Amino acid sequence: MPRTEKIGSASLQIDVASPPSWTFAAGDTIIGTVIRLSPIVAPEATVTIDLIGRVKTKISVRKNTGNGTRTEHYRGRWILIRTSQVLHRGPLHLAEGHGIGSDCLSWPFSIEIPTRPLASLAQNNSDQQSYLPLNNVAEHPLPGSFYSFRNGWSTKSEAFVEYYLESTIRYTRKGSYETGNATRPVTLQHPSSGSIPASQQLQRRTFQITVQTQRLLPGMEHAELSFTQKTKKFFHSSKVPTFGFNIEIHLPSAIELEIPSPIPFVIKFSSNTVSTSPIIQDTVQTVRLNSVRMLLKSTTTVIAPGNFLASNTHNDTQSNEHDLGLHTIFSKLEKPIEFESTKGDQEVDIGTMLQLILCPNGLYTGSRRLGLVSPISPDFVTYNIKHWNALLLEFLFTVADEKVERKFSVPIKIMPPARQRPELPEYSKKQEDST
């Protein structure tokens, strides 16, 4: 189930008037030229160009049988859009020795990308093969370009959304027809899902932490514990002081890719006097944030019907985790992030402090990328593909030489860029650096 590649030759090729990495949006106009460099003499010829958008899924399941193993394949095919234009109809002539510069044959074209799928989707498919209801196809936006693949031991699945131009030349030569073809993929941006209400922009996670060690006592901060002290600490003796504190995390429920304002990521600290031993209530305890590891977990579920029975529908789920590299920056901070127990409630917005921005190719601190990841795709649902994201967070604290780790995950909606931003030249360079 290969995706469409860029194919062209002297017989026929497609040039598009846009930068190589340009991303189109539904409703945009694609402007370009179909070119032939090879000589031709034909009394009758037709040159056409089509814009095609499609969604394809394939699930391959290996099953054990009495005679060994066999593999069953399930495929889903949806034609989202198809627009056609006739660029030329009539005789063609390009003599030998030409085909260079202005001497080639060329046919300019201008194609507007539809904003909605074909109405025929409802007639050609069934509801049980779709995540979206088919009674209102006219209201469905076009999904953006997308690719996902999983190669499991017993199940392999592949899914993609693609858009491409296809040009064909058909002409008569010595009484028979000959043809030539060219294809050119184009990237379509996912549609904007709208803004998130202010009341839902931040989500909160809270956890309580207690640390028990003799090093909480004044003068014992870095002392080497004796065997007896270690034993009392191991068995949580009431004679070993305990320090308790609360950590509250505020982070977005949705992140828009490429948005120039930093991602809000607030860490709030407060002492917990209830779980703190009276003997150290008035002492200064320092809590250091050693690092925060942030992973993006992307999950894709696909549907594919059987080859013969439409009711024999299979689905498969693929998940990938991408380390965004946030933890690598903490060892390079000029001043570590610390909280002191006697200073009351404290907070730090590490998103603003580190100028964190999420782009399709990774997480950035200012203009520097922290780690290379596969293209980050926004959340979306189309007919036989559903894709969503979550953040996995790992916090590492140190209190009185004791390391404390907390992990949790939160759903995060990744939103597409509002539109390509020509006013951000540094992002264009980021794309070039990632190639």
Q: Are 297 and 389 in contact, with CB atoms under 8 Å apart? A: yes
How many CB atoms within 10 Å of residue 206?
A: 11
Nearby residues of 52 by Cβ (< 8 Å), 6 or more positions away = 79, 81, 82, 163, 164, 165, 166
Share of the chain above pLDDT 70, in %: 91
23-24 and 176-188 strand pairing: parallel
Q: What is the spatial distance between Cα 12 and Cα 105, in angstroms, rounded to a whole number?
A: 10
Q: Which two tokens stand for residue 135?
A: 């009674």
Q: What is the DSSP letter of 261?
A: S
Q: 230-276: per-residue pLDDT in tens?
A: 777 766 777 788 999 999 999 999 999 988 889 999 999 999 999 99
Nearest to 47 by CA among 86, 11, 96: 86
Token pair 């689905």 in the structure block, residue = 315
SS3 129: helix
Q: Are 416 and 402 in contact, with CB atoms under 8 Å apart? A: no
Residue 355: pLDDT band (50, 70, 90) is: very high
pLDDT at 100: 52
pLDDT value at 116 more than 50: yes
pLDDT at 426: 40
Q: 135-144: per-residue pLDDT in tens?
A: 888 889 999 9
Q: What is the spatial distance between Cα 249 and Cα 267, in angstroms, rounded to a whole number?
A: 5
The mean predicted confidence, pLDDT, of the chain is 87
pLDDT at 194: 66
Q: Are 293 and 323 in contact, with CB atoms under 8 Å apart? A: yes
Q: DSSP of 370-431, one letter per residue?
A: S---SPPPPPEE-SSEEEEEEEEEEEEEEETTEEEEEEEEEEEEEE--SS--TT-HHHHHHH
pLDDT value at 119 more than 60: yes
Q: 95-108: per-residue pLDDT in tens?
A: 876 555 557 899 99
pLDDT value at 425 more than 50: no
Q: 159-187: per-residue pLDDT in tens?
A: 999 999 999 999 987 778 889 999 999 99
pLDDT value at 229 more than 80: no
Q: What is the DSSP letter of 237?
A: -
pLDDT at 428: 40
Residue 200: pLDDT band (50, 70, 90) is: low
User: How far is residue 400 CA from its own chain's centroid?
Assistant: 40
Q: What is the spatial distance between Cα 3 and Cα 160, in angstroms, rounded to a whole number?
A: 8
pLDDT at 373: 76
pLDDT at 420: 52
pLDDT at 214: 78
pLDDT value at 196 more than 80: no
pLDDT at 234: 67
pLDDT value at 74 more than 50: yes
Long-range contacts formed by 15-22: CB under 8 A, 24+ apart: 16/165, 16/184, 16/186, 21/187, 21/431, 22/187, 22/420
Q: 1-42: per-residue pLDDT in tens?
A: 689 999 999 999 999 998 877 889 999 999 999 999 999 888
Nearest to 154 by CA among 72, 234, 269: 72
Q: Which two tokens stand for residue 284?
A: 């200064």
Q: What is the spatial distance between Cα 265 and Cα 350, in angstroms, rounded to a whole number?
A: 6
**DSSP E strand stretches across 66-218:** 68-94, 105-112, 146-151, 155-173, 176-188, 202-212
Residue 67: pLDDT band (50, 70, 90) is: confident
Q: Which two tokens stand for residue 167?
A: 């040009």
pLDDT at 427: 37
User: Could you tell me the CA-to-CA distances from 191 to 90, 119, 283 in Å, in that order?
Assistant: 40, 19, 55
Q: Are 49 and 111 in contact, with CB atoms under 8 Å apart? A: yes
pLDDT at 195: 64
Residue 433: pLDDT band (50, 70, 90) is: very low
Tell me the one-letter amino acid at 97.
G
Residue 421: pLDDT band (50, 70, 90) is: very low
Residue 327: pLDDT band (50, 70, 90) is: very high
pLDDT value at 87 more than 70: yes
Domains of the chain from N-terminus onward = 13-188 (2.60.40.640), 198-433 (no CATH)
Query: How far from each other are the two terminal CA atoms of the chain, in whole angstroms?
Result: 25
Q: What is the spatial distance between Cα 364 and Cα 255, in angstroms, rounded to a whole number?
A: 14
